[in-house]
Amino acid sequence: MNRNNTILTVRNLSIAFQTNSGELNAVRGVNLQLMKGETLAIVGESGSGKSVTVKSIMGMVTSNGRIKEGSIEFTYTDNGKSITEDLTKLSNKEMQKRIKGKRIAMVFQDPMTSLDPTMSIGNQIMEGIRYHFKISKKNAEKKAMDLLELVGIKNPTSIMRNYPHQLSGGMRQRVVIAIALSCDPDLLICDEPTTALDVTMQAKIIQLIMDIQKEKEISVLFITHDLGVVAKIADKVSIMYAGKIVESGTVEDIFYDARHPYTWGLLASTPDINNIQERLYTIPGSPPNLLNTWEGDAFAERNQYAMNIDFRLEPPMFKINDHHYAATWLLHENAVKVERSHQNNQTLTWEEEGNLANK
């Protein structure tokens, strides 16, 4: 892999929160790599640590949280020079001034959380432009109108004068995307940007993000719990479970050659890809409480293929090929080869499991 094409490398990132019930380990040794111009999707159930991970890239770890370990290397070009910085080493002030909103921008699930209800759309878009670029009000206004057109708003002049509550959910999200793009970021992070929208609007916003990515050649980190969306938008996919990446690969690796039983479960519970099934599968059980510690694999309890070793030791990342990795003991050379199945009532026994458990 050509390292010069990497825009973001997250290495062994661990983030914990202090809570009234003790320390909560939200992110546990996450690795991610995003190349220039690519879309990387992070997929996982609610509570798996997706938002905490991407917020940390924006320097937005809340005051009760801390980065315990790891690095976030971000590469960008400044005055024609390529610079790589570890974002975990930057102060809030430096992040605010040089990175956040300017080189890395973020679109959240609920557009109302990023919009100011008391400020006109025009002023909100111009605010960021004028903070990062020293340009006149007139030029900022022109740029704001261009951005609104770019995100598919047909009547930018009147929308500029509107307030957020006057717009539909879809329009608000378009405005948020316009604001995110206003400073020409190299990296756009979208955290479940369409979850609050109806299906038709979801498809439109996703198409918009794809069009913009192509036109602007930006890199996109796209968070979702919906594999149907991933199939449409992503080049690479990282599957997250209980604060860890459990499988990562190209979109083909994940859809045609998934190796982790959690990924199998996710695929089986996705309507678009599995429409042959009458009833959609749901992965039994629920993820572990991140306030607790446990032995072995966090997924073991829910894994119909779990072996003794799954309850004792955390599996390492096994390499399937140069771009495909999965953290499951099923990939150990001593594990029984299993057929992927989604019936949760299936009882499986492993005759050869003894070999592995004794390791």
Return residues touching ligand ADP (CB under 6 A): 17, 19, 24, 26, 44, 46-52, 62, 64-65, 290
Answer whether 188's CB lies under 8 Å from 218's CB.
Answer: yes
Radius of gyration of the chain (CA): 22
Which does residue 62 touch among Mg ion, ligand ADP, none (CB within 5 to 8 A, set by kind)?
A: ligand ADP
Which is nearer to Mg ion, 51 or 213 (by Cβ)? 51
Per partner kind, with CB cut-offs from 5 to 8 A, the member of ligand ADP, Mg ion, none near residue 261 is none
Residue 194 as a binder of Mg ion (CB under 5 A): the answer is no
Half-sphere CA count of 112, side-chain side, radius 13 A: 8
Q: How far is the CB of 25 from Mg ion (least distance, A)?
A: 16
Query: What does the DSSP assignment read for 165-201?
Result: GGS-HHHHHHHHHHHHHTT--SEEEEESTTTTS-HHH
Min dist. Cβ of residue 331 to ligand ADP (A): 24
Q: Name the residue nearer to ligand ADP (CB basis): 37 or 47.
A: 47
* Pair of tokens at residue 268: 């089986």
Least distance in Å: CB of 51 to ligand ADP? 3
Tell whether residue 328 is a contact of Mg ion (CB under 5 A).
Answer: no
Smallest gap from residue 151 Cβ to ligand ADP (A): 24
Regarding beta strands 219-224 and 236-241, do their DSSP bridges make them parallel or antiparallel, or are they unpaired? unpaired
Phi then psi for residue 29, to 5 deg, are: 75, 50
Distance of CA 13 to the CA centre of its chain: 14
Which listed option, Mg ion, ligand ADP, none, makes contact with residue 228 (CB within 5 to 8 Å by class)? none
| Cβ–Cβ under 8 Å, residues 49 and 246 | no
Please select the residue that binds Mg ion; options are 33, 51, 194, 304, rule is CB under 5 A: 51
Q: Does the footprint of Mg ion cover residue 269 (CB under 5 A)?
A: no
Instruction: Please report how close the Cβ of residue 65 comes to ligand ADP at its closest, in angstroms.
Output: 6
- CB of 31 vs ligand ADP, minimal distance in Å: 16
Q: How far apart are CA 177 and CA 192, in angstroms?
A: 13
55 vs 102 by CB, closer to Mg ion: 55
What's the token pair of residue 222?
A: 């796209």
- 17, interface contact from ligand ADP, Mg ion, none, CB < 5-8 Å by kind: ligand ADP
Q: 19 or 139: whose CB is closer to Mg ion?
A: 19
Cβ contacts of 115 within 8 Å, gap of 6 or more: 124, 164, 172, 175, 176
Give residues in contact with Mg ion (CB under 5 A).
51
